[in-house]
Structure 1
């Protein structure tokens, strides 16, 4: 045991180092999400349970599932010993030094779950022969890619959110499935869904995988399903876990007749197709094409500028809008596109009972499909694919190449979240350091298998650097700054959407190739 503990001492150093590093951002810029969570502390502390999802004195109403609301209530019990004024409902936009310190440290402390989950994921790495040098070990590289992930650092510890805590549940659940401890994995994911419902993106992968791999105990020699091997008691165990968690979470609101009110807060479809600035997905490409066609139509005098919606899709507001030229997209259309995009991955995992890595790949495809085609997707949701892909990246050269494209593109798409001059050098330096490490470490891991990127991918990523220079340094000095203030956001989202879409297609290609190899065997 002593030898084992000593061999993992490097992980402790990484974890302590990143925790101390996060504390450097305590007095950095924070977004409106800081006030969102302060208000949720006040709601859950000051009001009875029956009013949590009805309170609307602030525009930042409670819109996370009940288990996260209980987390906020637990944090509020500690917060009252720091500065009780932060728990007053009428104290809007309150940010005393004590409040800032408490909320920042609450994120750092809840990240302990993410640190534990990262260690469990590192234990799941498959390698032929581990190098003697610790810095070259796949587990060390994975630990750095997870613990020091650029996106998590800026989103949680500058912009302000609790994604590390939430992704801790996801990665720990993934680790348990990779270890074939499926009931624990199902429990963790059920809890996660009741903490933040955005993880419904990957729920289909969990459902099909658990039904196929856990509830069917044997296959025929050709790999097809042997229906006689279906284990109803296993299905009952899984169902009991999921139902129990949801009953614990939503049960009180069902008893009070408030389920519809809670659901309306969780799924506000009136927010529109795109977020205030577009996530780099298919709808960014669609909306960008709409803007281009509108401008071209006016130039060619095929359209009257006065007849077009004012600043459609780029007004910086969260609202329902109409496209100017192309047909507007209803929520049902986004749902249909998402289902069609994930269906081949789900069929593939249904045909493969044994294959925990296939489950992870299916999870990634579900995450990216939902990101690309979902309704009102937030740009931060790209981390739902980037973080799990880190596991595959240290095991496979091809996945490492996909990771480099997706992480570089997805991380840069988060740049507009930090728009104050003081944070410019921070985000640039952190992004550059993380990207250089990713390229170097993964390149060394897979050195014997050839280059990780093809020339086309290299050209695309160099183009991303050009977009960054134009948007961050040239545009603020140009005369277009006043006339077209959202042009950098549009350019960033559209260009990054190309890289995210490409990564999605490459992941599907690797899935199909692995299926063909399995058939040949």
Structure 2
């Protein structure tokens, strides 16, 4: 299995090891979801268990369609990594800042993609941990800055980094590590364009050639989604980095629920090309339909006394995913373009999903600005 020349290696033992190792590592993800559900206070409606925000949130996280197919069918260990991220978020909500910082530092050295959300962690820890007191109006009391706390945070990050990168430094292999972590020698986009800003840019370029803690969580999600939108050589799976934290926000406000549903439906559909064999087609369609229907129905129930979660334009766009799937999976294979232009389905999927994800990013950005302005007005 470790022979790099043996690309077609396969055995029942290998499959069992891979599948059960993913399942075993998901124990951490389940525990992290449990801890997050303790911290998140959503909208309180109804006495039924299925209408409680914590139940809805646990289902949205534990049965996340994208995470399910990426880990258990496509085969990766994202559940374990997202477990570390959610657990670090929970610890920050619980005011256990050092534990949260330690968990995030460990997470960052497992996979560098989480560097995208590091600014949110840095600002929040500086504001909520390194400054120990506020003025009566809620602004920072600058004299309360604690050098001891800054040094303790720095020490935690340094020790984790030393343990992780020390062996590479000793063997003079750090340049090789960084060349793999930050592949600027590769193209701006992955072979299958992640449905982000650059997908829209590339499509336009081709056409023109022819013609508080919750505030921290919101900022973390915005960092993740902005990095996905404008990042270099982004993989389509990176959308999960924004979808999962957005799940935590979705049970609190109707506006966040709307953004979550647009983002998760579009983002999950953009993962369809990962499963490209005929036997996987009905599986991925059924799983996504089940998750999407539950997400929409449960959040509609939670916010039934407020305005509809979608306007007509958003509804029309999301329904358009159906004809797109029919076109890509059932019509295109029987056309003469299949041989000459085999990447058209990937192009259509990427560009169509990029529109929805860009729209969700814009709505989230506006909501952050509006909430910030409202918060300042209330303080005054």
Once the two structures are TM-superposed, the CA of residue 512 in structure 1 deviates from its matched residue by 1.2
Instruction: Choose the corresponding residue for 1:255, options 151, 154, 170.
Output: 170
1:473 equivalent to 2:334? Answer no
Counterpart in the other structure of 2:375:
518
The structural deviation recorded for 1:254 is: 1.4
Are 2:137 and 1:222 equivalent residues in the alignment? Answer: yes
Q: 1:174 aligns with which of 89, 94, 98?
A: 89
Taking the TM superposition and a 5 Å limit, the aligned residue runs for 1:72-471 are: 86-87=1-2, 91-127=6-42, 129=44, 131-296=46-211, 355-471=212-328
Deviations 1:340-379 (A, max 9, x none): xxxxxxxxxxxxxxx1000000001110111010100000
Task: Give the aligned partner of residue 312 of structure 1.
Answer: none
- Alignment partners' CA distance in 1, 2:335 and 2:5: 42
Name the CA shift for 1:489/1:230 in 2 (closer, same or farther; >3 Å).
same
TM-score normalised per structure 1: 0.71
d(CA) in 1 for partners of 2:108, 2:294: 33
Higher relative contact order (CA 8 A, sep 6+): 2
Kindly state the Cα deviation for residue 252 of structure 1 after the two structures are TM-superposed.
1.8
CA shift, 1:236, in A, is 1.2
Separation in structure 2 between the aligned mates of residue 360 and residue 101 of structure 1, nearest angstrom: 37
**Structure 1 CA distance, aligned partners of 2:65 and 2:351?**
21
- Structure 1 residue runs of 4+, over 6 Å off? none
1:448 match: secondary structure: coil
Structure 1 residues 176 and 130, CA gap change in structure 2 (3 angstroms): farther
How far off is 1:445 after superposition? 0.7
CA drift of 1:290 comes to 1.5
Cα distance, 1:89 vs. partner? 5.9
Partner of 1:508: 365
Give the Cα separation in 2 of the matches to 1:186 and 1:130: 34
Q: Distance in 2 between matches of 1:360 and 1:222?
A: 22
CA distance in 1, matches of 2:98, 2:309: 36
Secondary structure, in 3 states, of the residue corresponding to 1:94?
coil
Deviates more, 1:213-222 or 1:227-236: 213-222
After TM superposition, give the deviation of residue 293 of structure 1 in Å: 2.1
Which consecutive unaligned segments of at least 5 residues does structure 2 have?
A: none
CA offsets 1:109-166 (integer angstroms, 9 cap, x no match): 1111111111111111214646422111111111111111100111111111111111
Instruction: Summarize deviations over 1:76-129 as a string: whole Å, max 9, x none.
Output: xxxxxxxxxx35566543211111111111111111111111111111121464
Greater radius of gyration (CA): 1
- Deviation track 1:174-201 (CA, whole Å, cap 9, x = no partner) reads 1111222111111100000000001001
Q: What does residue 351 of structure 2 align with?
A: 494
Q: CA-to-partner distance for each residue in 1:465-497, whole Å, 9 max, x for gaps?
A: 221221121111222211211111111111111
Is the Cα contact below 8 Å between 2:44 and 2:52 reproduced in 1? no
Corresponding residue of 1:28 = none
C-alpha distance in 2 between matches for 1:226 and 1:400: 35
Moved more, 115-124 or 190-199: 115-124
Confirm or deny: 8 A CA contact 2:251 2:299 kept in the other structure: yes
Between the two proteins, the alignment pairs up a number of residues equal to 378
2:340 maps to 483
Distance (whole Å) between structure 1 residues aligned to residue 43 and residue 76 of structure 2 = 38
Q: Tell me what 1:17 maps to.
A: none
Once residues 151 and 198 of structure 2 are traced to their aligned partners in structure 1, the CA distance between those partners, rounded to angstroms, is 40
Cα pair 2:116 2:227 within 8 Å, conserved: yes
Uncovered stretches (5+) of structure 1, i.e. residues with no partner: 1-85, 297-354
2:7 and 2:272 map into 1 onto residues whose CA distance is: 27
Q: Secondary structure at the match of 2:132?
A: coil
